[in-house]
Amino acid sequence: MKVEATNWQQLDDYLKTDDRAVVPLGSTEQHAFLSLSVDSILSERVALEAAEPLGIPVFPAIPYGVTPYFLDYPGSISLRVETYVRLVRDILDSLKAQGFRRILLVNGHGGNQPAGSLAIEWMADNPGVAVKFHNWWNAPKTFAKVQEIDPVASHASWMENFPWTRLAGVVQPTQQKPMVDFARMRVMDPKAVRKLLGDGNFGGYYERPDEEMQAIWDVAVAETRELMEGPWS
């Protein structure tokens, strides 16, 4: 149930029989030749498809996350960790006040990990409300499927290139990019990161056949749905 297409009365009715909610966590940041909104598009879509048969409301994806290393790339917006944690806390507080008791955060961006730490702290302060933090792309089954298809996969590579994150008219390079030196990149400032990464792909091919991407997607939707189903206590 897409919250965007729902009114408050419908949610009021829903809360009489269920108390689950899903909040996708996205980011607006460089993804090489793909959309700047890859992490928002994928987290929201996987959440919606997983929630659909269960009838659980899926809130709009938070479009901004924590991505300071990409700040030299136009269109990359980074919230401070402090801002981000406050934002997610306000969302959890609002949901709790209305009666939601089981909340799944479907995260699409590695830099948003502080929300996972916050969720653990918040639960201790709010007994009776369960919050799960789910990195959909590196959850065990989904990541195993990615590895089975091509172990050289990372940020902005083929593994984020779905028909729904690709841009019309943009041609993807055909070569396999060597994996970036993560140890060096982690200590670089944004300008140096851009110089090191160039187009922004961390490493790997830029595109793989749609059938392979659909196979990964199917696993990701099923795995995300399992988390919605339980256990919650």
- Long-range CB pairs of 138-141, under 8 A, 24+ apart, other chains included: 139/220, 139/223, 139/224, 140/223, 141/219, 141/222, 141/223
Which positions ≥6 away from 42 have C-beta within 8 Å? 108, 136, 137, 160, 162, 164, 165
Q: Which is nearer to Zn ion, 36 or 51 (CB)?
A: 36
Tell me the closest approach of the beta carbon of residue 195 to Zn ion, in angstroms.
20
Which positions ≥6 away from 178 have C-beta within 8 Å? 203
| Residue 99 in tokens | 């009666």
Hey, what amino acid is at 232? Answer: W
105 forms beta bridges with 23, 133
Q: Which is nearer to Zn ion, 14 or 158 (CB)?
A: 158
Measured at CB, which residue is nearest to Zn ion? Answer: 39
Q: Which is nearer to Zn ion, 23 or 38 (CB)?
A: 38
Residues forming contacts to Zn ion in the complex (CB under 5 A) are 38-39, 160
Tell me the closest approach of the beta carbon of residue 165 to Zn ion, in angstroms.
9
Tell me the closest approach of the beta carbon of residue 125 to Zn ion, in angstroms.
30
Q: Which is nearer to Zn ion, 100 or 205 (CB)?
A: 205
Q: Which is nearer to Zn ion, 154 or 176 (CB)?
A: 154
Tell me the closest approach of the beta carbon of residue 49 to Zn ion, in angstroms.
18
Tell me the closest approach of the beta carbon of residue 110 to Zn ion, in angstroms.
8
Residues 89, 79: Cα–Cα separation, whole Å = 14
